[in-house]
Structure 1
């Protein structure tokens, strides 16, 4: 958090944790693997919330997308650990060769999110709740940009209410898709 990912060594991490560098290497092959493990701890509550929401309350596709995006905002605002991890991952990260595995993981997560969103949009088109001329690929990319962009902007200085403004932005864009 203090130095960014690239400037932080495994020795820095070991010292801060009160363990030896060897202990770090016992659990992690390199800094990229350690960073990915940190990201997995934050991803789990988001994925669990999404799965629980889908199982407990099968929503219309646009409503499900809305709820998932707002859940991402809510976790960021309400969970200090998740917020710190997101801040490190979005504002204090450069994708050097040493951290290529992190770049690959981020791309894979984006691709999975896009695939789920595109599928939800196709389902909405088939059910008649999403405009027939909506391009699922373009819409999913736009929604990803909204989600990622609002999180990034809010993490910079928290100068707006992410839950309120985020909800308004998401609602405005989703309303344009309603059939």
Structure 2
């Protein structure tokens, strides 16, 4: 009996998360009420509050249920080995883009995050956690770029932190555009060429650590006479 009750509760929770995906996607997060999510799921409003504190808690659970391509990229980057760090980075980026195209749930959540939500007000706490998680993920990916520097695939003065910022901006920009209109281009088919474009630019002209001007010697500071 207890087991059936737990299974029923888990099933209701999944119904609510599925309903939240659909309603948030159609109406946007801000314009959606928990009563509308409950109606879409075919349950009472009280059932929503049994599983989730508020809309922010529901939204966070919906996001956590999806597998983020960028999180997967970071996890694999921290475990990656191989003779060519740049080759590893390329493969991970291609996989991240391909993953988005092959997972409808991830597509739905990314569309909601990019185009149907404002991470402010009641969702401000989620934005803060997202920023913190992104910083940690960037550090893992930066380690691959640092290995590329150590392997001689990138110059010694490459600004690895700025390089990873550029990489994230490039990939999330592609994801943003594609989720807005998936029919605009075939992201899975184009992923290798798109990643190669970034990698080629990174290798040919990486961001550099600014040179610190040499301090003037005492002789340089002496006034010119004569």
Q: What is the TM-score of this pair, normalised by structure 1? A: 0.86
1:165 equivalent in structure 2: 190
Q: Is the 8 Å Cα contact of residues 97 and 191 (structure 2) preserved in structure 1?
A: yes
Q: CA deviation at 1:129?
A: 2.3
Pick closer, same or farther for the CA change 1:109–1:45 going to 2, 3 Å: same
Task: Find the residue that maps to 1:85 and give its secondary structure.
Answer: helix
Q: Which ranges in structure 1 are unaligned for 5 or more consecutive residues?
A: none
Per the TM alignment, residue 36 of structure 1 is displaced from its structure 2 partner at its CA by 1.4
Report the counterpart of residue 114 of structure 2 in structure 1. Answer: 90
Aligned equivalents of 1:43, 1:77: Cα separation in 2: 12
Q: Which residue of 1 aligns with 2:201?
A: 176
RCO greater where, 1 or 2, for CA within 8 Å and sep 6 or more?
1
Cα distance in 1 between the residues matched to 2:77 and 2:131: 24
Secondary structure of 1:2's match?
helix
TM-score, normalised to structure 2's length? 0.70
Q: Deviation at 1:83?
A: 0.8
Q: Distance in 1 between matches of 2:106 and 2:73?
A: 14
Q: Which residue of 1 aligns with 2:81?
A: 58
| Alignment: residue pair count | 178
CA RMSD of aligned residues (A): 2.4
Which of 158-167 and 32-41 deviates more?
A: 158-167
Q: 1:143: Cα distance to partner?
A: 0.4
Q: Deviations over 1:8-65 (max 9, x none)?
A: 111111111112222212222221121111111113687567656875x623322232
User: CA separation in 1, counterparts of 2:77 and 2:139?
Assistant: 18
Match of 2:102 among 61, 70, 78: 78
Kindly indicate whether the alpha-carbon contact (under 8 Å) linking 1:131 and 1:177 is maintained by their aligned counterparts in 2: no
User: 1:81 offset after TM fit, Å?
Assistant: 1.5
Does the CA contact (< 8 Å) of 1:95 and 1:103 recur in 2? yes
User: Which runs of 5 or more residues in structure 2 are unaligned?
Assistant: 1-24, 205-226
What's 1:144 paired with? 168
Q: Which has the larger radius of gyration?
A: 2
> Which residue number corresponds to residue 129 of structure 1?
153
Deviation at 1:86, TM superposition (A): 1.0
Distance in 1 between the 2:133 and 2:98 partners?
19
Equivalent pair of 1:76/1:82 in contact (CA under 8 Å): yes
